[in-house]
Chains A and B, each alone.
Chain A
Amino acid sequence: MQNQENQNKKRTRVEVLYDILRVIQEKSGKIKPTHVMYKANLSHNSMAKHLQDLISSNMIKPTENNQKKSYEITSKGRKFLQEYAQVREFEKTFGL
């Protein structure tokens, strides 16, 4: 029931960025854009916008292998993931 509520709730920008980074991290730190789209549950436009945000804040970097584009998480991105995981835990603990 609560999961359903959480799924229906609109994610904030930071939550979406966290979800994208988490998906990349789970895929050994590197992922194809199409995988980001369905694993982070995003539309194409939304994904492109958020990926651009992450690139400009140096949390991910685009790489190309055999003309196939993918995204790699940076140390800054990993640090953000760590901090945000702690913040979420803090919020849950204090019922924020």
Chain B
Amino acid sequence: MKLVFTPDWFLGFDVGIELFSFIILSLLLFYTIRTYKLTKNKKALYLGIGFFLVALAELASILTKSILYYDTTITRQVGQMIITYHVVKSVDFLYEAGFFFEKLLTLFGFYIIYRFPLKKVATSDLVLTSLFIVISAFLGQFFYFVFHIITLVLLVLITTNFLKIYDKNKLKNTLILIWGFSLLTLSHIIFAFSKVKSAYVIAEIIQLISYLAFLIVIIMIAKKENAKPRKPK
């Protein structure tokens, strides 16, 4: 089973992009926590849980890839010794577990981000959806495109939600957010063709651009100032 589709020359860059994504997601999480603390708005709490899970997914991928790339180097240095082969074989399970959790957390995270503005969901629906997510993450281990197709469906639904929000508020920030999620959706369409090495690289770069869009939103929120004092007459 192929674990990663990164071309040799791109090794490390993909981890860098995921690290950047993790930082942006953590910043978004910070704002949701601050919002919840001040307003006790439960929607902010759910949105925060969504960002937290996607951030954890990125972290799982970063750690797994970092160990995997380091391990590959050791194997190359030692050569084809049987003992090395066994060592690598024994940690195969860790790689698979790492990538499984990445998929599972990503799907759960985006599902929560999609669900948060909607009305309360029935427990039975939640159990059923959770089961589908676990099965999808498991299937994604063998058929990588399954994971990307389900993620892109969730991202399309999230983008549609934000389009409805933009229709009401006409805010520039929301529009940039929509662009960010649209680009993230596009990246998962391309990730579905990861067997083509250049497709994987293009998808990673589009992911980077989408998170840059989220960074712009964060900067615009952070720059928001309170009322300025009036000049004395």
Contacts and interface: CB of A to CB of B under 8 A. Distances in A.
Contacts of A92: 169, 171, 173-174
B117 A12 contact: no
B165 A83 contact: no
Nearest to B46: A96
B221 A89 contact: yes
A92 to B, nearest CB: 6
Contacts of B195: none
B49 to A, nearest CB: 13
Interface stretch (B12-20, B34-42, B203-211): B34-42
A95 B168 contact: yes
Contacts of A95: 117, 161-162, 164-165, 168-169, 174
A48 interface: no
A38 B17 CA distance: 52
B224 interface: yes
A94 B165 contact: yes
A85 B38 contact: no
A81 B226 contact: yes
Contacts of B117: 95-96
Contact of A93 (B34, B43, B171): B171
Interface stretch (A24-32, A49-57, A58-66): A24-32
B31 interface: yes
Contacts of B31: 86-87, 90
Interface residues of B, number: 33
B188 to A, nearest CB: 21
A20 B217 CA distance: 28
A94 B181 CA distance: 12
Interface in B83-128: 117
Nearest to B165: A95
Interface residues on A, range: 20 to 34
Nearest to B230: A26
Contact of A27 (B41, B221, B230): B230
Contacts of B222: 86
B232 interface: yes
Contact of B35 (A12, A22, A28, A87): A87
Contacts of B79: none
Interface of B: 31-32, 34-35, 38-39, 41, 43-44, 47, 117, 161-162, 164-165, 168-169, 171, 173-174, 177, 217, 220-222, 224-230, 232
30 contacts: A14-B39, A22-B226, A25-B226, A25-B227, A26-B227, A26-B229, A26-B230, A82-B225, A83-B34, A84-B38, A85-B224, A86-B34, A86-B221, A86-B222, A87-B31, A87-B38, A88-B224, A89-B173, A89-B224, A91-B35, A91-B44, A92-B169, A92-B171, A92-B173, A92-B174, A93-B173, A93-B177, A94-B47, A94-B177, A95-B164
